[in-house]
Amino acid sequence: MSELVFFSGTMDCGKSTLALQIGHNRSARGLQGVIFTRDDRAGEGKLSSRLGLVTEAVEATEGMDLYRYLVDQLSRGAKIDYVIVDEAQFLAPGQIDQLARIVDDLGLDVFAFGITTDFRTKLFPGSQRLIELADRIEALQVEALCWCGARATHNARTVGGQMVVEGAQVVVGDVNRPAEEVGYEVLCRRHHLRRMTSASARAGALSPDVLPAPST
């Protein structure tokens, strides 16, 4: 029985790595799939992980009909056994509906990977629709960690190392960008609410206004 499965987690928790692993395992068994992605850090038409693995993918552009794309490929004789979608949070709700139709009408498994909420802790429309439609939702087992060592549960956008809470919902960046650029950092809820990034924590620790802890 084919399924629409949503694998969700924060940034830096191995979503793209798992997407690549699922594709590898199935191709090793002679199965062929289509990989969709959107705004990957490696550029258009790429699926990449932070471990350095990269594969070719189909860029799911705004307004693209994913269902129609697959129907066209199948009508030309292509063999398609499954579908992988990375950065699924960036898809429009209508494109998520198309993923559900791929499962129901074409009988293909669809594995979608994405983060649930944005830097403001608001649901991405694509992720919200996946939560509404998915046959199964899987939380990634690899836990990303906040700078304090606690489990990271929130994504933060940073500029110059400082957390920002305003701006466009989608700005492509990464957790490994230089501090002066727009980047992202994963934080625990406590430090996200306090807007305390690793850079601001270091600055606070070095500030002359902060009293050192007494020696024991």
Structure tokens at 162: 């400082």
Contact 159, 185 (CB under 8 A): no
Distance CA 114, CA 97 (A): 16
Q: Which residue has the tokens 């790429």?
A: 46
- Whether 91 contacts 133, CB under 8 Å: no
Spatial contact of 58 and 44, defined as CB atoms under 8 Å apart: no
Let me know if 132 is a catalytic residue.
Answer: no
Hey, what are 206's tokens?
């070095």
Nearest CA to 81 out of 131, 28, 136, 132 is that of 28
Q: Are 173 and 39 in contact (CB under 8 A)?
A: no
Amino acid at 97: D
Structure tokens at 24: 């590898």
Annotated catalytic residue within 3, 56, 59, 87: 87
Any alpha helices (H) in 37-158, and if so which ranges? Answer: 66-75, 93-106, 125-133
Q: Which residues form the catalytic set?
A: 87
